[in-house]
Amino acid sequence: MNPVTGTALIYDAEMTNYKLLWVDPACKIEVPERLTVSYEALVKAGLADRCVSVPVREATEAEILLVHSEEYLEAVKKTPYMTLEDLQEFTLQYGDVYFHPNIYHCAKLASGATLQLVDSVMTGKVRNGMALVRPPGHHSMRSAASGFCVFNNVSIAAKYAQQKYGVKRVLIVDWDVHHGQGVQYCFEDDPGVLYFSWHRFEHQKFWPNLRESDFDIVGTANGAGFTINVPLNKVGMENSDYLSVFLHLLLPVAYEFCPELVLVCAGFDTAIGDPEGEMRATPDVFAHLTHLLMNLADGKVCAVLEGGYNLKSLPQSVCETVQTLLGDPLPRPVNLEGPCKSALESLHCVRAAHRKYWSCLNHAGDLPSGELSTKRSKSAEDGDQAEINEEEKKTDDIVWPDPPKRVTPNVQTALVVPDGTVCPEGCQWFCPSEDPDPNLMKQLRENSALDTDDTDVLTTLSSLIALMDQMEKNEIRSGLALVHDVSIVMNWVVQHAATSSCKRMLVVFLGDDMVKSCITQNGNAMLVQISNKNFDAETKNYIPVCLKKGCRDTSGLMQAVLTLLLPLGYEYDPSLVLLIRTSDCGVLESAWQQLTGLLQGLAQGHTLVVMQESEHPSVAPTVASLLGTPAPALGPLSAALSEDVETVEKLRHTLCHDWKLLQTTETQCGGDG
Ligand code: Q9C
Ligand code: ZN
In this structure, the residue with its CA closest to atom 3 of ligand 1 is: 307
Distance 173 CA to ligand 1 centre (A): 18
Residue of 103, 133, 139, 201 with the most ligand 1 atoms within 8 Å of its CB, for mutation: 139
376 — pLDDT class (breaks 50, 70, 90): low
Atom nearest to 269 CA in ligand 1: 3
Please give the residue that has the higher pLDDT: either 380 or 500: 500
| Non-local CB neighbours of 112 within 8 Å, separated by 6+ positions | 56, 57, 58, 59, 63
User: Where is 335: in which H helix or E strand?
Assistant: none
Please tell me the residue having the least CA distance from ligand 1 atom 6.
Answer: 207
Ligand nearest to the CA of 271: 2
Greater model confidence, 283 or 368: 283
pLDDT at 373: 52
- 610-626: per-residue pLDDT in tens? 999 999 999 999 999 99
Strand 427-429's sheet: what is its strand order?
A: 427-429, 411-416, 476-483, 607-612, 576-581, 505-510, 525-531, 542-546
What is the CA(450)–ligand 2 centre distance, in A?
60
Closest-CA residue, ligand 1 atom 5, reads 147
- Any bridge partners for residue 506, and if so which? 526, 577
CA–centroid distance, 317 to ligand 2, in Å, is 14
Higher pLDDT, 493 or 115: 115
Query: How many angstroms separate the CA atoms of 592 and 520, rounded?
Result: 27
Helix (H) or strand (E) holding 648: helix 642-655
Atom of ligand 1 nearest to the CA of 267: 3
**171 near 154, Cβ under 8 Å?**
no
pLDDT of residue 668: 74
**For 39-56, what is each residue's pLDDT tens digit?**
999 999 999 999 999 999
Neighbours of 300 (CB within 10 A): 27
Instruction: For a ligand 1 pocket test, name from 276, 385, 388, 395 the mutation site with the most ligand atoms within 8 angstroms of its C-beta.
Output: 276
pLDDT for position 108: 99
Q: What percent of the chain has pLDDT over 70?
A: 93
What pLDDT does 395 receive?
82
pLDDT of 509 strictly over 80: yes
Judged on CB neighbours under 10 Å (0-12, 13-18, 19+), 401 is exposed
Select, from the ranges 300-309, 408-417, 540-549, the one with the highest average predicted confidence (pLDDT): 300-309
Which protein residue's CA is at the shortest distance from atom 13 of ligand 1?
Answer: 307
**Three-state SS string across 254-273, please?**
HHHHCCCEEEEEECCCCECC
Q: Is the pLDDT of residue 599 over 90?
A: yes
**Would you put residue 327 in left (φ > 0), alpha (ψ -120 to 50) or beta?**
left
Q: Report which protein residue has its CA nearest ligand 1's atom 9.
A: 147
pLDDT at 106 over 70: yes
pLDDT (tens digit per residue) in 276-330: 999 999 999 999 999 999 999 999 999 999 999 999 999 999 999 999 999 999 9
Q: Are 295 and 594 in contact (CB under 8 A)?
A: yes
> Residue 232 Cα, ligand 1 centroid: separation in angstroms?
15
How distant, in Å, are the alpha carbons of 170, 339, 400 from that of 270? 23, 15, 15
Average pLDDT, the chain: 92
Task: Please state the rounded mean pLDDT for residues 425-440.
Answer: 81
Alpha-carbon gap, residue 19 to 494, rounded angstroms: 59
Count Cβ neighbours within 10 Å for each residue of 336-351 and write b for 16 or more, e otherwise.
Answer: bebbbebbbbbbbbbb
Evaluate if residue 391 carries a pLDDT over 70.
no
Closest listed residue to residue 135, CA positions, set 122, 119, 154, 116: 154
Length of the chain counted residue by residue? 673
DSSP-based three-state secondary structure for 309 = coil
* Cβ-Cβ contacts under 8 Å for 380 (sequence gap 6 or more): none
pLDDT of 520 over the 70 cut: no
Ligand nearest to the CA of 175: 2
pLDDT at 439 over 70: yes
Query: Parallel, antiparallel, or unpaired: how do β-strands 505-510 and 576-581 relate?
Result: parallel
In the reported structure, the alpha carbon of residue 178 is separated from the centroid of ligand 2 by a whole-number distance in angstroms of 4
Instruction: Tell me what pLDDT residue 372 has.
Output: 53
112 closest CA partner among 81, 66, 78 = 66
Of 212-226, 384-398, 450-464, 516-530, the poorest mean pLDDT is in 384-398
What is the reported pLDDT for 447?
67
The residue contributing the CA closest to ligand 1 atom 2 is: 307
Residue 131 Cα, ligand 1 centroid: separation in angstroms? Answer: 20
Active site residue 653: no
Rounded to the nearest 5 percent, the helix, strand and coil shares of the chain are: 40, 15, 45
- What are the structural domains, with CATH classification, of the chain? 7-19+28-393 (3.40.800.20), 411-640 (3.40.800.20)
Euclidean distance between CA atoms 597 and 624, whole angstroms: 9
Instruction: Kindly give the distance from the C-alpha atom of residue 206 to the centroid of ligand 1, in angstroms, as a whole number.
Output: 10
Q: What is the pTM of this model?
A: 0.96
Residue type, 247: L
Is residue 115 predicted with pLDDT exceeding 60? yes
Closest atom of ligand 1 to CA, residue 137: 13
Find the residues whose C-beta lies inside 6 A of ligand 1.
Answer: 26, 96, 136, 139, 147-149, 176, 178, 207, 267, 269, 276, 306-307
Q: Please identify, by atom number, the ligand 1 atom nearest to the C-alpha of residue 138.
A: 13
Q: Are 503 and 475 in contact (CB under 8 A)?
A: no
State whether residue 576 is helix, strand or coil: strand
Give CA–CA dist 79/101, Å, rounded: 6
Q: Whose CA is nearest to atom 8 of ligand 1?
A: 147
Three-class SS state of 245: helix
> What pLDDT does residue 139 have?
98
Atom 12 of ligand 1, nearest CA residue: 147
Q: Output the pLDDT for position 490.
A: 85
Rg for the chain, CA atoms, rounded: 26
477 CA to middle of ligand 1, Å? Answer: 41
- Over the stretch 441-470, which tens digit does the pLDDT of each residue have? 777 777 656 655 577 788 888 899 899 999
User: What percent of the chain lies above the pLDDT cut of 90?
Assistant: 79
Lowest mean pLDDT among 267-281, 375-389, 466-480: 375-389
**Ramachandran quadrant class, 385 (left: phi over 0; alpha: psi -120 to 50; beta: rest):** alpha
* Confidence (pLDDT) at 496: 78
Are 472 and 576 contacting, i.e. CB atoms less than 8 angstroms apart?
A: yes
CA distance 561 to 590: 14
With bands split at pLDDT 50, 70 and 90, how would you rate the model's confidence at 422?
confident
- Whole-number pLDDT of residue 121: 98
Among the bound ligands, the one closest to the CA of 150: 1
Q: How confident is the model over 365-378, as a mean pLDDT? A: 64
Rounded Cα distance, 539 and 519, in Å: 8
Residue 264: half-sphere exposure toward Cβ, Cα within 13 Å: 33
**Pick from 183, 179, 185: nearest CA to 202:** 179
Label residue 540 by pLDDT band (50, 70, 90). Answer: confident
- DSSP annotation of 149: B
Counting beta carbons within 10 angstroms of the beta carbon of residue 88, is it exposed (0 to 12), middle (13 to 18) or buried (19 or more)? Answer: middle
Q: Name which of 127-131, 361-365, 420-424, 659-663 the model is least confident about.
A: 420-424
The ligand 1 atom nearest the CA atom of 176: 3
The catalytic residue among 68, 139, 291, 496 is: 139
Q: What ligand 1 atom has the least distance to the C-alpha of 136?
A: 13
Q: How far apart are CA 506 and CA 59, in angstroms?
A: 48
466 near 440, Cβ under 8 Å?
no
Please check the confidence at residue 38 and state whether its pLDDT lies above 50. yes
Determine the Cα–Cα distance for residues 36 and 31; give it in Å rounded to an integer: 10
